[in-house]
Structure 1
Amino acid sequence: MDFEYFSILELTLSLKQVSKKSNTRTYTTSIKFNSTQRWKLFKEPIIQYDSTKLRANKLLEQTSTTKDRSDYLWYTLRFKQSQPKAKSDLNVYTHGHQVHAFVNGIYVASAHGSHKNTMYTLQTTVPLVQGTNNVSLLSVMVGLPDSGAFLERRFSGLRRVSIQGTDFTKYQWGYQVGLLGEGQQIYTAASSIRLQWGMYGSSGSQPLTWYKTTFDAPAGNDPLALNMNSMGKGEIWVNGQSIGRYWISFRTQQGNPSQSWYHVPRSFLRPKGNLLIILEEQTGDPLGITLDIVTADGQS
């Protein structure tokens, strides 16, 4: 009976014509955001030790500290240097997905891991001034593991920090969960109006910058997507709704980003004056962003 049943089933399937929609898509640019006049920016403050309230004499585990309220955790310290040094070694060993380093409020370097290398070290040289120096390290996670053995024992965030051979792992650290823009909900219209935004300058983008613009919804009902290929890493909001994180600078073995277009649901849009907010962690160029209309190329 089993053999007879499967023979009949195979014959039935062979006589059927199965059709499906094509996976081929065409992206037609509808709006270019290539004018500096379109954009305004807000620079995320670099948190330093004096402005922190949470403190500990060790490096805290990130996930248990943020309690999933944010992808971001600031690790900050201050120390005195008797003599200025133009080049001092900074080594940050971390289990976070990415880390950005700032010394005395100035960006110095970033590093990230990979699927195969989740534990990595940021190594760079930094300038130290005579007197008090402030080191601010922003540890970034991109989602959390949801399965696997010993999940409760997994450690995220910084593990060891040394500067010019001195181990600061068990030093007095100050912490802040999240970014100021997150706490202020800068991506909503009401909060966006309250903040002081600057004009987009000709000097190019800087790390940890929020960008703001508005646009009108393209006519029709075809799907829409933002082409973010000119950006680095961050998150996108349309009218206060997140449409996802992006990480264009993280490339595949072929040298391409895993994703460049990000769907903008029509249901999020108004006919006029839609608010687009972008958090860029790195040095992406918002002038290269476009809003594209997506069409399917026939059926097979």
Structure 2
Amino acid sequence: MMKRWISGEKSFGREGMYLQTASYDFDAPIDEHGKPTGKYCHLSNLHRILQENSSILLASDEPLKRQTDEGLVEYEWSDGSHNLVFRCNDSAGDGPASAASRGNARIPPRSVSILRDGELLMNTARAAVARSVRRAMRPLNRVLSGLGGWDEPMPDAWPSALRKPVIFKEPVECLSLTQDDTDYAWYCAELSVDGRRAGLGTLRFEAAADVLYVFVDGKLKGYSLPPLPENRSLHESARRNEGGGAGFRQEFSMKIAAGAHSLQVLCVSAGLIKGDWMLGGANMAEERKGLWGPVLWNDIPLPGPWRIHPGLVGEKFGIFGRAGHLIQWRNDLVRRPHTPLRWWRMFFRKPSQVEPLALDLGTMGRGFVWVNGMPLCRYWLAQALGEGGPGEPVVSTRSSEPTQRYYRLPASMLEEENTIVVFEELGGNPSGIRVCVWDEIRP
């Protein structure tokens, strides 16, 4: 547990929790690549000062505490020859008026100045420029080679050996079918629209999780947009398959002509939850994915039956590994840009500098990536909202940028010749994928 607060980490494969980015550094002093950050250097300076003045700090059991006229709190240690003073400004304000002065020194809010015999050693709000660390991602390859794509087939086009759906009268959540071995499950049913309810209408899913892609007659009609609610309520009614609680209902506005149509919904898990509070206090063992409540077109429930196909054909074939050589990959990105539900494969040689590396997925949308047949992580280029949790937020990403663009590429995954396979759900641009190095910017 202690390591989490010292060093950043990364979730690999499908280990990431619900709505958790693959990278989680918690603003740690050491980043997920094992490299020191500016905070590390700042804390190192603090520890050095404490170590060098340990004899003063240990000379007395307790410091002398006093309140100054400027509203500061001072703690003084002394060994008879030297003294060490911690001068604290506990003001919570952020404006210049919150800064307090003592002598000629201004002390920013929520900071401490450390002085030895009246000499300022450091202020915790100011990082020494000489000790700061700045890094940036630098692309190593202009273009990855051998780009090719392969379409994930719709359920009615699956190979006959795989076309064995589980059939229910009503939708059934899919964790009981997938055992959480895949993020994906297709739900298919007939959608009959009479003349009175044709045209623009609303398709409503009373209980659905997490990301939905809605197809009618094989055409993408809508998909779930971020942000998804982090905390949702799983009511007793949901346990009886009568619908979901707050946060599980999803609606899509679309035009459908009168007649019989095929409805195909790809449900995608965004990871398992972290605790019971994310289900409104329900036991986290009751977590659900997929569909498990009524589906209505303009308030009229679809009668069913529902055919459920867990997983993807590409997953079942294992085209992210050696079986990918048996697939006919087509480089038709120019002719078919931004095609959803598409697999992409590309190659790169191992660079001379193998640590620390990352994949730049800034041109992609949402999906999953494998390297040399090994699952790297989910990715989702959703824009950051700039919203923090309880207390003071720590914001390292501007609200106009993705929550995560660069995904750590461990050296242990690399060979001399490397293969990247991406399943892209939304239709990103794989020609923009780059291998980058996490370089230090020197002044």
**TM band (smaller chain):** 0.7 to 0.9
Tell me, which stretches of 5 or more residues in structure 1 are unaligned?
none
Q: Which residue of 2 aligns with 1:180?
A: 313
Answer whether contact 2:187 2:307 (CA < 8 A) is retained: yes
Q: Which residue of 1 aligns with 2:363?
A: 230
Answer whether contact 2:193 2:256 (CA < 8 A) is retained: no
Corresponding position: 1:115 with 2:220 = no
- 3-state SS of 1:38 partner: strand
Distance between the aligned counterparts of 2:368 and 2:410, measured in 1?
A: 16
Summarize deviations over 1:29-76 as a string: whole Å, max 9, x none.
111337xx7310011111149944200011102322321111111110
Structure-2 change in CA distance of 1:230 and 1:133 (3 Å): same
Query: How many residues matched?
Result: 292
Answer whether contact 1:235 1:246 (CA < 8 A) is retained: yes
Counterpart of 1:138 (choices 257, 262, 266) is 266
Distance between the aligned counterparts of 2:294 and 2:305, measured in 1?
A: 13
Answer whether contact 2:200 2:253 (CA < 8 A) is retained: no
Distance between the aligned counterparts of 2:61 and 2:354, measured in 1?
A: 46
Higher relative contact order (CA 8 A, sep 6+): 1
Which one-letter code corresponds to 1:140 in the other structure?
Answer: V
Given the two structures, how large is their TM-score scaled by the length of structure 1? Answer: 0.84
Which stretch of structure 1 is more off in the superposition, 144-153 or 60-69? Answer: 144-153
Which stretch of structure 1 is more off in the superposition, 152-161 or 276-285? Answer: 152-161
Q: Which residue of 1 aligns with 2:296?
A: 162
Deviation at 1:222, TM superposition (A): 3.3
Distance between the aligned counterparts of 2:133 and 2:258, measured in 1?
A: 57
Given the two structures, how large is their TM-score scaled by the length of structure 2? Answer: 0.58
Deviation at 1:205, TM superposition (A): 2.3
Which one-letter code corresponds to 1:99 in the other structure?
Answer: L
Corresponding position: 1:192 with 2:324 = yes
Deviation at 1:151, TM superposition (A): 1.8
Structure-2 change in CA distance of 1:180 and 1:106 (3 Å): same
Summarize deviations over 1:88-127 as a string: whole Å, max 9, x none.
5422334312100111111111014232563241312143
Higher strand share: 1
- 3-state SS of 1:267 partner: helix
Q: Which residue of 1 aligns with 2:142?
A: 32
Which one-letter code corresponds to 2:300 in the other structure?
Answer: T
**What is the RMSD of the two structures over their aligned residues, measured on CA atoms?**
3.4
Answer whether contact 1:33 1:286 (CA < 8 A) is retained: no
Corresponding position: 1:201 with 2:330 = no
Which one-letter code corresponds to 2:404 in the other structure?
Answer: Q
Summarize deviations over 1:164-206 as a string: whole Å, max 9, x none.
44211x5210001111111111110x21011222223313021
1:1-300 → structure 2 map (5 Å cutoff): 4-5=60-61, 24-33=134-143, 38-48=146-156, 51-80=163-192, 85=198, 87-112=200-225, 113-115=228-230, 118-128=247-257, 130=259, 132-148=260-276, 149=281, 150-158=283-291, 159-168=293-302, 171-188=304-321, 190-202=322-334, 203-253=336-386, 254-271=399-416, 273-297=417-441
Answer whether contact 1:78 1:134 (CA < 8 A) is retained: yes
Distance between the aligned counterparts of 1:22 and 1:174, measured in 2?
A: 58
Which stretch of structure 1 is more off in the superposition, 81-90 or 39-48? Answer: 81-90
Structure-2 change in CA distance of 1:250 and 1:76 (3 Å): farther
**Which 4+ stretches in 1 moved above 6 angstroms?**
13-17
Deviation at 1:215, TM superposition (A): 0.7
Deviation at 1:81, TM superposition (A): 5.3
Largest Rg, 1 or 2? 2
Which one-letter code corresponds to 2:135 in the other structure?
Answer: R
